[in-house]
Amino acid sequence: MKFKAKLTAIITSATMLTTLAIPVASPTTVTAATNYVNYAKALQYSLYLFDGNMCGTGVDEHSDFSWRGDCHTEDANRQVSVNGTNYTVDVSGGYHDAGDHMKFALPAGQAFSTLNLAYYKFGSAFTSTGQANHFKTIMEYEADYLSRCIIKNTQGNVVGFVVQVGDNNSDQTGNADHQSLVAPESQQYTKRDIAVATSSNPCSDEVYVSAAVLAGAYVNLGKPEYLTAAKALYQFAESNSKGIRNCPFYGSGDWNDDRSLAQAWINTADGSVNYETVKDNWCPNWDNTGAFASAVKGSTAGLGSFTVSSTVNGFDFIDAWGSLRLASNVQFVKACANQDLAKTQQLVDFIFGNNSKNITFQIGYNNNSAKNAHHRAAAPGMATTKNTLLGALVGGPESSGANFTYTDEVKNYQGNEVALDYQAGFVGCLAAMVATYGANDQIADYSSLPAVRGLYKDGGSTEPVTPPVTTGGGTVTEPPTTNTPSTQYGITKTGTEDDWGDVVRVYGTVTGFSGQPDVDDFTYKVGGQAVTTNFAGFDDGTTLQIQVNTSVNNSYIEVYYKGVLIGYIEYGTGKAPATTTTTTTTTTTTTTTTTTTTTVGDKDAPVITPASVSIQIGEYTVLTANEDVTWTINNENYAYLGQKAARSVRVTGDVAGSAIVTATDLAGNKTTVTITVTALATTTTTTTTTTTTTTTTTTTTTTIPVPTTTSTTVTVTSSSTPPPATLVGDIDGDTQVGKIADVVLLGKHVASKITLTGQNLANANCDTRSSAIDVADLQALIRYMLKQVNSLPFSG
């Protein structure tokens, strides 16, 4: 259950809840330089809430949780009537709102536009921690769902948009879904209710905020169909009379803030609409999105006024419902404007245990983490926790002050529920922390994560995408896809490295490329171990400057381009190994194998497994429950290990002769089966084998020769013939760069031919200011700038 963000609890926390019985620890003072949390691991975990809340026919393929599966598949083929015409829509997919099974456009719109904002502003945090592909999957899953919710007539015009799925009460209050306490895979509805925005029922707030999600998805993922859908939704809302939907769970106060959010993202995507700042009425949340709109533009202009009851270790207590969500939203908006980052870090540290109760409010992060989320998939029946909702942020403290109240119980829907909009700002704060303070942090080993399949453990190479811009320049000839460096490609040590003990800055000259390689495609290893860098770039045309975080002061750096080893850079007194070792090993192995075979009688009986091991009731279909069935054998409890209680179930037990097996479902229904197991003949065979093996291993490690060439000439020829434009002097000023950007983005290509010797202007330094610079150079410059920064000031 989740109520309106501004709602004040009628019953105070003191009468509803008891304080969590956790040993009290003294608060720890944390400065902006203290890495109190492993931010990379926390960010990695934070994306899993979305895996836990996936809905529809694609959960099996996309959710990384082994305990989640396809649900509400009947949503894939629905009939709706708009203005007297029937339409077929596929509204499967998307995400459940919170701990229930509902799908609401308004909170989801704020949540996913905020998640887009986190990637847009701090994309390097996702790529450096290997979470880019996980983010991409999450965002595509929602954007594809929203695209399918758009209803068009035969002329291709938008006539409606699905804003809510689920309920099965005529009043569409959501109460029917809240009364269903089973996991989503078990909820049996033939057809779930849906609510639709139309010209006569505009639901402007929900339509605008959904357009914002789609435009943000285009900015981050580069799929043109998302921008097309976003602009179609925006125009649909613009052409209708304005109004909000009276939804009992999410009754919005205004639509202007959501319109501003859609404008901010569409304006960022292609500039086709103007952005108008709207100041919020309260703290940023699903009902106040003006602050998120201004954050897209790197400003806090949309922040409204709100009362802070107390501030403890950076945590501002604003309201008892989702208190950590509200504080996270405020600090994330400020982080997007590069403000108050030290307090953002204090808040994150508070969430991860720097509080009077020493509790971590992210589930699964450590031994002190909250465990019992108010969530039907994690706790079917809403009684006890069955599955770990890894990474989810619970609502948090329910009262202000250092001695706040909080109860870690499944039924505590005020302080322990989780939700899409609770999570998104939290993800943003963690991304800001990774980008600012987390250069040395490492993600957790995927094999250690509970019930995680590891679908995204090899991901992360995807980079933030800038919407396509027509630019000049040539192509890059890349190394062959082999693990052996080619002498054609390499990187040669240039100059003397700066050695600061734990950080080493080295310099090298890239050779063998035709055109400018992308520095983001380079990765590094020191002594065979992968290392992270917090700086890597070209300080002139071909010289690569690398700052490596490592405590190994005398070694060598292996340099990889898109996973292909292209050379070494030695530093200190370290050398790349150049040895050949041959080892011959003779091994004698004696193996003794004992095989015991037990024959069981009565092959037609449902039990065919030997006694003293287990029994199995095949295709046992008497019960109707789908899960949580208990089993007894001769009145003793046994574990259920089957996939579904209504299918084959195996229960362990030492059964001799006859036994009575009883299955009991959640409703108390019982079914009893009497089985007989008779062990017959037992045969034992022992075999002894002696094997002698001789193994010769030759290991060769050779320093890869690097080219002696220290510079390269790049020639780029365009298809146009006009003479090059000339620009002499300093072009670093914002106004001049803005004019250049206008030229490039308008596609005014007037370059003919350029020759760059030993440099490429895409590094944005422009050191050769006395030389003629044509538009092709400027195009390369702008391409670099668009890739490296989140926003570029334009003039004109």
pLDDT band at 462 (very low <50, low <70, confident <90, very high): very low
Top-confidence range, 24-28, 354-358, 577-581: 354-358
Structure tokens at 37: 């949390």
Write down the pLDDT at residue 657.
56
Res 75 pLDDT > 80: yes
Residues in a beta bridge with 655: none
What is the predicted pLDDT for the residue at 403? 96
pLDDT band at 685 (very low <50, low <70, confident <90, very high): low
Of residues 28 and 275, more confidence is placed in: 275
Lowest mean pLDDT among 150-164, 541-555, 689-703: 689-703
Q: How does pLDDT run across 262-316, given as a tens digit for each residue?
A: 999 999 999 999 999 999 999 999 999 999 999 999 999 999 999 999 999 999 9
Query: Which residues make Cβ contacts (< 8 Å) with residue 623, sequence separation at least 6?
Result: 629, 645, 646, 663, 665, 669, 671
Higher pLDDT, 746 or 631: 631
pLDDT of residue 252: 86
Half-sphere exposure of 153 (CA within 13 A, CB side): 11
57, pLDDT greater than 80: yes
325 Cβ contact list (under 8 Å, min separation 6): 285, 393, 395, 396, 419, 421, 422, 425, 426
Decide if 217 contacts 226 (C-beta within 8 A).
Answer: yes
Q: Is the pLDDT of residue 607 over 50?
A: no
pLDDT tens digit string along 4-22? 333 333 223 332 322 222 2
pLDDT at 95: 98
- The reported pLDDT for the residue numbered 737 is 45
Would you list the DSSP string of 725-753? P---S---SHHHHHHHHHHHHTT-----E
CB 436 within 8 A of CB 534: no
Q: State how far the Cα of 638 lies from the Cα of 650, in Å rounded to an integer.
A: 10
Q: What is the band of 258 on the pLDDT scale with cuts at 50, 70, 90?
A: very high
Please determine, for residue 442, whether its predicted confidence score (pLDDT) is greater than 60: yes
* pLDDT > 70 fraction of the chain, expressed in percent and rounded: 57
* Strand ranges inside 332-447, DSSP E: none
Which range has the top average pLDDT, 34-38, 186-190, 357-361, 620-624? 357-361
Of residues 540 and 42, more confidently modeled: 42
State yes or no: pLDDT of 166 exceeds 90.
no
In this model, does residue 131 exceed pLDDT 60? yes
How much is the pLDDT for 251?
79
Average confidence (pLDDT) over 175-191: 77
**pLDDT of res. 631:** 59
Instruction: Tell me: pLDDT of 401 over 50.
Output: yes
Tens-place pLDDT, residues 488-510: 567 777 666 766 555 677 777 77
* Per-position b or e across 287-312, b if 16+ CB within 10 A of its CB: bbbbbbbbbbbebbebbeebeeeeeb
Task: Decide if pLDDT at 550 tops 90.
Answer: no
Is the predicted pLDDT of residue 165 greater than 50, yes or no?
yes
Q: Check whether 569 has a pLDDT greater than 50.
A: yes
More confident residue, 189 or 237: 237
Query: Which of 475 and 38 is assigned the larger pLDDT?
Result: 38
pLDDT digits (tens, 9 = 90+) for 694-730: 555 555 444 433 333 333 333 333 333 333 333 223 3
29 Cβ neighbours under 8 A, 6+ residues apart: none
pTM of the full structure: 0.58
Average pLDDT, the chain: 73
Q: What is the pLDDT of residue 263?
A: 98
Q: Give SS3 for 337.
A: coil
| pLDDT band for position 383 (cuts 50, 70, 90) | confident
In this predicted structure, the answer to whether residue 244 has a pLDDT above a threshold of 50 is yes
pLDDT for the residue 228: 97
Crossing angle (nearest 10°) for helices 420-437 and 341-351: 120
Higher pLDDT: 739 or 284? It is: 284
Q: Going along 601-629, which residue ranges are E strands?
A: 614-617
Average pLDDT rounded to a whole number, residues 235-240: 97
| Model confidence band, residue 561 (pLDDT cutoffs 50, 70, 90) | confident
